Structure 1
Amino acid sequence: MIGSIVVEAIVYDPQSLKEKRSVLKSVITRIRQRYNVSIVESDFQDVWQRTEWSIISVGTAKTQAEKELQKALAIIDNHPNLEITNVSWEWL
């Protein structure tokens, strides 16, 4: 089972794209190290205070893939400089 989520978020306090990328890089690194998912910034690369990630998980069962995606989502949700504005789920 393949699970995919697209997460849109607001990034608080960056004064440049460099600062935004620093925040995003720390989140992406933490997610990749802890969970069996692929994550990429898929939109808003040139906007300071907005981002969109695509996160994919592959598992033998839907519940396994969903747990991994939920844990990745929790890291984003608990970050002090990020606020999730939209999450779209898709199953293949």
Structure 2
Amino acid sequence: MVLALMTLELRFQAHSLKDKRKVVKSLLSRMARRYNLSVHEADYHDVCNRACLAAAWVGANSEGARRVLEGVIALAEQAGAELIRPEIEFY
């Protein structure tokens, strides 16, 4: 059994906190639904063009975890976010 933890720092186009909430909420929902993982906004709550997302996934092997996390990164990039710093840990 593998536990995969990931934090993603993202930068994107948003001119207000309301715009940011719309983008982040949509992205969190798509990530959780598509990849069946737990994800939330972990930092930069009051910054309108940045977000830090934290995600956790449990699976049978590390190959599956890597595929899921690569998919999460791709989903963030498809949403128009610039990936600043991804951090991935396996336990």
TM above 0.5: yes
Give the Cα–Cα distance (whole angstroms) in 1 for the partners of residues 66 and 57 of structure 2.
8
DSSP-derived class of the 1:26 partner: helix
What TM-score do the two structures reach when normalised by structure 2? 0.92
What TM-score do the two structures reach when normalised by structure 1? 0.91
Are residue 74 (structure 1) and residue 90 (structure 2) matched? no
CA displacement at 1:11 relative to structure 2: 1.8
Aligned residues between the structures: 90
**Which ranges of structure 1 fall in alignment gaps of 5 or more residues?**
none
DSSP-derived class of the 2:56 partner: strand
In angstroms, what is the RMSD of aligned CA positions?
A: 1.0
User: Identity over the aligned pairs, expressed in percent?
Assistant: 29
Instruction: Report matched runs for 1:1-92 at 5 Å.
Output: 1-12=2-13, 14-80=14-80, 82-92=81-91
**Which ranges of structure 2 fall in alignment gaps of 5 or more residues?**
none
CA displacement at 1:15 relative to structure 2: 1.9
- Deviating above 2 A after TM superposition, structure 1's stretches of 4 or more consecutive aligned residues are none
